[in-house]
Amino acid sequence: MPKETLKKELKTDVSDQILNLLGDLAKDVKNLTNRVDSIEKQPQISSPSVAIKESEIKVDETKFPIPREYREAVLTSLNQFFGLKIEPLADRPAFIMTLVVPDKYSSLTPEEKKIHKMDLRSKVISYAEGVNGVKAYAELVLSSFNPDVRTQISIDRSININDII
């Protein structure tokens, strides 16, 4: 008889625990349902459709990080005043390297400056050429300047950028 009584007590204890757990679970589900309903009842904020002109959209030109070795090749061949942009090509393993020539070295006429705004020198360089291709093109750009400008570029190369700032 004591064994049967013990079994009945254990069954009622387990049953009570299960009922308590189910009751807690039902409360949690009801609370969750109420929260979802309250969120759904909140007014939806819709963003107004605004016509944006393509000229107003600012696109980050440099999505491709410029490797340090490429920048150093430009610094050693030209100087720190020259800008460098790199754009990868989607159809082949190469990139377009664009050197931005500062106004003080530029050979653009006033009419050309009105049209082009900047003196840009670009070339497609394969990834296989890498830093050697960048350096060779920077040297080619340097050789395209007249001797006086080349001398000024060399003099400015020895100037530390921190002295200027």
Give the pLDDT confidence score for residue 53 in this predicted structure. Answer: 44
For Cα atoms 16, 21, 24, give the angle at the middle one, nearest 5 degrees: 125
Region 61-65: mean pLDDT is 61
Query: Dihedral of CA 74/95/54/114: which sign?
Result: positive
pLDDT band at 128, cuts 50/70/90?
Answer: very high
The least confident of 56-60, 62-66, 148-152 is: 56-60
One DSSP character per residue, 52-86 reads --GGG----S--SPPPHHHHHHHHHHS-TTSEEEE
Give the pLDDT confidence score for residue 159 in this predicted structure. Answer: 76
Give the pLDDT confidence score for residue 109 in this predicted structure. Answer: 84
pLDDT band at 64, cuts 50/70/90?
Answer: low
Tens of pLDDT, residue by residue over 82-124, are: 999 999 999 999 999 999 999 888 888 888 888 888 889 999 9
Give the pLDDT confidence score for residue 110 in this predicted structure. Answer: 84
Give the pLDDT confidence score for residue 84 in this predicted structure. Answer: 92
Strand partners, 88: 95
pLDDT band at 69, cuts 50/70/90?
Answer: very high
pTM: 0.57
Buried b / exposed e over 66-92, threshold 16 CB at 10 Å, is: eeeebbebbbebbbebbebbbeeeeee
Please give the CATH architecture assigned to the domain spanning 68-164: 2-Layer Sandwich (3.30)
What is the domain partition of the chain in residue ranges?
1-46, 68-164
